[in-house]
Amino acid sequence: MAIALIGVLGGFLGGLFGVGGGTVFVPLLVFLKGFDIHRAIGTSLLIIIFTAIAGAIFHGRAGMVDWKAAVVLGIFSMLGVWLGTKLSLKLETVMLQRAFAVFLILMAIKLFFDKQA
């Protein structure tokens, strides 16, 4: 039941805010299911396939997807995910969890104070 709830909540937040894997599913899996950070990250990377496809379809139908930019970014993101995964797997669990927490805090601060409309 907790897995289904995590799926619904993560999907809802992904559709609402355009976030997924790391920012939503990793914390939910760690706190609600007791996953260690490495397993949560790996699991979230698979989950995002489903949320990304569904979200892209719905936003695409509304004309809110830059398909060219998405394809180029997607291709280059494969290099980034390869490098990030190599580093992630070398980090101890506590160090990775702390680095992730700092990333979330910095993003929250940036979003809170950003004046762009």
Distances (CA, A) of 116 to 13, 49, 92, 109: 21, 29, 37, 14
3-state helix, strand, coil in the chain (%, to 5): 85, 0, 15
pLDDT at position 2? 81
Q: What is the pLDDT of residues 49-67, one digit of tens each?
A: 998 899 899 999 999 999 9
pLDDT 10s per residue in the chain (117 long)? 788 888 888 878 877 777 766 788 999 999 999 999 999 999 999 998 998 899 899 999 999 999 999 999 999 999 999 999 999 999 999 999 999 999 999 989 998 999 875
Distances (CA, A) of 77 to 44, 70, 74: 16, 10, 5
State what percent of residues in the chain have pLDDT above 90: 60
Residues 36/22, Cβ–Cβ less than 8 Å? no
pLDDT at position 117? 56
